[in-house]
Amino acid sequence: MRRYFGRKLLIYGLTFFVAVTVNWMIPRFMPGDPVASMVARANVTKPEAVEAMRAYYTSLFGLDQPLWQQYLNFWGALLRGDFGVSIWLFPTPVSDVITTAVPYTLALIVPSVLLSWVVGNQFGAYAARRKLLDNTVLPVGYVLTAMPYMWLAVLLAWAFGVILGWFPVAGGYSFSMRPNWSGAFLLDLLHHWTLPFLSLFLVALGGWAIGMRNMIIYELESDYSNYLSALGAPSRLIRRYAFRNAVLPQITGLALQLGVLVAGALVTEIVFAYPGLGSLILKAIQNKDFFLLQGTFLFIVLGVLIANFIIDIVYVVVDPRTRAGMAGAQA
């Protein structure tokens, strides 16, 4: 057990190191100088004043040091929990920017990922080998899962937001409100959350439902199912066993899909002007805001790694073979 998790942790540690390094490198190798554009935005006419500002900001952000020194400083600051100051939203610290955005992103991603997985699996399992449902679920599922998140989001925004006017098209809560703990405000939050949630939920749902349906059909044709049914076991029971076996690859699939789901969430946030990390990342790239970009990516990398780790644990719990393997390793 310890060796299993030790190995996993080592792999996660390495992934983290590489991801953070890449994340540090990418903005620095993009063309353009963030300080130059920051100063240019200031519309200062006098060349000497421009030079003064430029020199000042370059040293403030530590961009005047050699690259290896910047890289070391970066790790040093990171371990102290200091993400630096945003260039785009100067002088707000990156950690402040991220903390206001993260709740929105989490509130979108966590429910949509878990719910779509749970509902999709149940639904797919139920639909398999039931002619009428199968004939509808399969095509609808394919259409949903093949839809880009962004496109479905735009469709939903247009139909339910602009045409029907049932849902707002922008913001995390009404522009007329201030955050407080009243019921009206919470309802308002939900109201704004519904459409972005739905677009994430629906796309993911289709994929899980199809996957589960195929797995169940495969399991129902396997020897143990045939044997059970030859013994006269009720089909409910057979389906239950089939489900337990079919759900394992779906868990692996969840781990693999997490990155894609997060990326989808970011795009969806932009479409709905939802104040999460997605819109931040877009702007950080456009403004060459190294520090904000690093901060948000770091957060996403951490999130995906932690989620993967949880899935690893869950896997140990639900699949006896992994436990058996570990016991063998211990012996």
Give whichever of 161 and 253 is closer to other proteins, judged by the CB atom. Answer: 161
Judged by CB under 8 A, the chain residues 71 through 90 that form the site for other proteins are: 86, 88-90
Tell me, residue by residue from 278 to 297, as one string, x for binding to other proteins by CB under 8 A and - for no binding.
-xx-xx--xxx---------
Q: Does 16 bind other proteins (CB under 8 A)?
A: no
Q: Does 22 bind other proteins (CB under 8 A)?
A: no
Give whichever of 14 and 40 is closer to other proteins, judged by the CB atom. Answer: 40
Q: Give the residue among 218, 220, 207 at the shortest CA–CA distance from 250.
A: 207
State in angstroms the smallest separation of the CB of 272 from other proteins.
8
Q: Does 328 bind other proteins (CB under 8 A)?
A: no
Judged by CB under 8 A, the chain residues 188 through 247 that form the site for other proteins are: 188, 190-191, 193-194, 197-198
Q: Give the residue among 63, 59, 60, 68 at the shortest CA–CA distance from 93.
A: 60
CA-atom Rg of the chain in angstroms: 25
Ramachandran region of residue 232, left (φ > 0), alpha (ψ -120 to 50) or beta?
A: left
Give whichever of 134 and 319 is closer to other proteins, judged by the CB atom. Answer: 319
Give whichever of 233 and 282 is closer to other proteins, judged by the CB atom. Answer: 282
Residue 93 is given by DSSP the state B
Among 275, 291, 293, 307, contact with other proteins (rule: CB under 8 A): 275
Q: Give the residue among 251, 304, 310 at the shortest CA–CA distance from 117.
A: 251
Q: Does 59 bind other proteins (CB under 8 A)?
A: no
Which residues are CB-neighbours of 28 under 8 A, at least 6 positions away? 67, 70, 290
Q: Does 15 bind other proteins (CB under 8 A)?
A: no
Q: Give the residue among 325, 322, 304 at the shortest CA–CA distance from 255.
A: 304
Q: How far apart are CA 19 and CA 293, in angstroms?
A: 13
State in angstroms the smallest separation of the CB of 279 from other proteins.
5
Give whichever of 22 and 187 is closer to other proteins, judged by the CB atom. Answer: 187
Q: Does 34 bind other proteins (CB under 8 A)?
A: yes
Judged by CB under 8 A, the chain residues 91 through 120 that form the site for other proteins are: 91-92, 97, 100-101, 110-111, 114-115, 118
3-state SS, one letter per residue, for 15-77? HHHHHHHHHHHHHHCCCCCHHHHHHHHCCCCCHHHHHHHHHHHHHHCCCCCCHHHHHHHHHHH
Tell me, residue by residue from 158 to 197, as one string, x for binding to other proteins by CB under 8 A and - for no binding.
x--xx--xxxxxxxx-xxxxxxx-x-xx-xx-xx-xx--x
| HSE of 105, CA atoms in CB hemisphere, 13 A | 24
- Measured CA to CA in angstroms, residue 309 lies from 106, 152, 237 at distances of 17, 30, 32
Q: Does 314 bind other proteins (CB under 8 A)?
A: yes
Among 52, 143, 302, 329, contact with other proteins (rule: CB under 8 A): 52
State in angstroms the smallest separation of the CB of 235 from other proteins.
27
